[in-house]
Amino acid sequence: MSLPLEGVTVVDLSLLLPGPLCSMYLGDLGANVIKVENPRVPDATRSMFVSKEGIPTLYLMLNRNKKAITLNLKRKESSEVLFRLLEKTDILIEGFRPKAMEEMGFGYETLKKKFPKLIYCSIAGYPEGGKLQDFAGHDGNYLALSGVLDQIGTVDSPCLSGAQFADIGGGSLTALCSILAALYQREKTGKGQKVDISMLEASLQFLNLYVGIYLSTGVVPKRGAELLSGKLPNYNIYKVQGGRFVFLGTLEERFFRAFLRKIDKESLLEDIPLDEVHYQRWKEILTHYFAGQNYETLKPLFENTECCLTPIKTIAEVLEDEEFIKRKLIYEIEYSEYGKLKHLGSPFSIVRGKENRLLPPKHGEHTTQILKELGFSSEKISEFKSKKII
């Protein structure tokens, strides 16, 4: 069975998380992905969070199914290589600040004239042409300005989520959807286009629920005090013994009754109905109940199909989850230099189990091979190396 994007070539100039994760997903779906890095300044994930054994685990998590070449885009001579590479490229991904590509001679308008079928995807924090386009930023900055961060945390204070909603949701996944849509449109029109992704702008989509509440009521939603953020006693987090936590998600009354029935407290609803005036009382009841429990005593409830009670797992526990392993969402890869390492499987079930075609490449591993495939002679390649272009 062929993969959906077989025959599609992607050139990825991006670094760190949003762009490389997007291009890895394209690779999972069958695309031929070529990762381009500066010959003297590799992708920083190659050196971030390296294990004591010297394993670049973060880099490995983001870069399967890619080939890697080095190219110094700041040298004018690099255009000879990049332009020849783009002749056979369908998608270009870059994550530079706005105008950086233009300054290097590779802006969209320049490339569009040479490669009219090229889909050019730019992933940036702030939108090009906006007042913030020249500002540096990170995930938390985009979440703060989009209003998302104001809805994460407790009534007393917002908090950092730990998960990169702006980088991955606003960047990687929005870019992926946009690229696939542009690829489909090209099938109909024969023309490529520029896909501008702003992680700030895309992060707004996480607020659909709360914007709807605000527009309906005129009241700004209160962090940690809305129906799905802490107001309800039956949709909340509770502490159990051993310093662990559980999540109770009995949003509908029938599920809440099923849970109370299992803990012999359903009769309390007769005297303490589940309405707003009694929310605090119910929180006290449930807090007291869970304080006397641990994961072992709660196991029958975790396994009950109607109780909507789940343990809050650590990453270590998730990596040992039998169901995730069975469904190949957690799997092991054998590396000659590192041994067996666990990885996250593709989120796309149509390719899961077949996504690990190429191991993450070493810095510049395929430079010579790809340049020769592009028609460059050994002498020319040596010249590029002497001029520090590759």
Name the architecture of domain 9-205+349-386.
Answer: 3-Layer(aba) Sandwich (3.40)
> Could you give the residue ranges of the DSSP H alpha helices within 91-173?
100-103, 108-114, 139-146
Give the separation between CA 254 and CA 235, rounded to whole angstroms.
Answer: 13
Give the separation between CA 7 and CA 32, rounded to whole angstroms.
Answer: 7
Extract the tokens encoding 69.
Answer: 């070449």
Give the separation between CA 325 and CA 322, rounded to whole angstroms.
Answer: 5
> Could you give the residue ranges of the DSSP H alpha helices within the chain?
18-28, 57-62, 78-86, 100-103, 108-114, 139-146, 174-189, 199-203, 208-217, 253-262, 268-271, 279-291, 295-302, 315-318, 322-326, 367-373, 378-386
CA angle, 339 then 361 then 365, to 5° = 120
Give the separation between CA 284 and CA 277, rounded to whole angstroms.
Answer: 13
- Residues comprising the chain, all counted: 390
- Is-contact 158 150, C-beta < 8 A? yes
What are the Cα distances from residue 277, in Å, to 54, 197, 254, 271, 282?
Answer: 57, 45, 20, 12, 10
Task: For CATH 3.40.50.10540, list the domain ranges present in the chain.
Answer: 9-205+349-386
Q: What is the pTM of this model?
A: 0.95
pLDDT per residue as tens, the chain (390 positions): 699 999 999 999 999 999 999 999 999 999 999 999 999 999 999 999 999 999 999 999 999 999 999 999 999 999 999 999 999 999 999 999 888 999 999 999 999 999 999 999 999 999 999 999 999 999 999 999 999 999 999 999 999 999 999 999 999 999 999 999 999 999 999 999 999 999 999 999 999 999 999 999 999 999 999 999 999 999 999 999 999 999 999 999 999 999 999 999 999 999 999 999 999 999 999 999 999 999 999 999 999 999 999 999 999 999 999 999 999 999 999 999 999 999 999 999 999 998 999 999 999 999 999 999 999 999 999 999 999 999
66-70 vs 339-344, strand pairing mode: unpaired
Q: Which residues contact 311 (CB under 8 A, 6 or more apart)?
A: 244, 246, 295, 298, 302
Extract the tokens encoding 310.
Answer: 């789940």
- Is-contact 241 291, C-beta < 8 A? yes
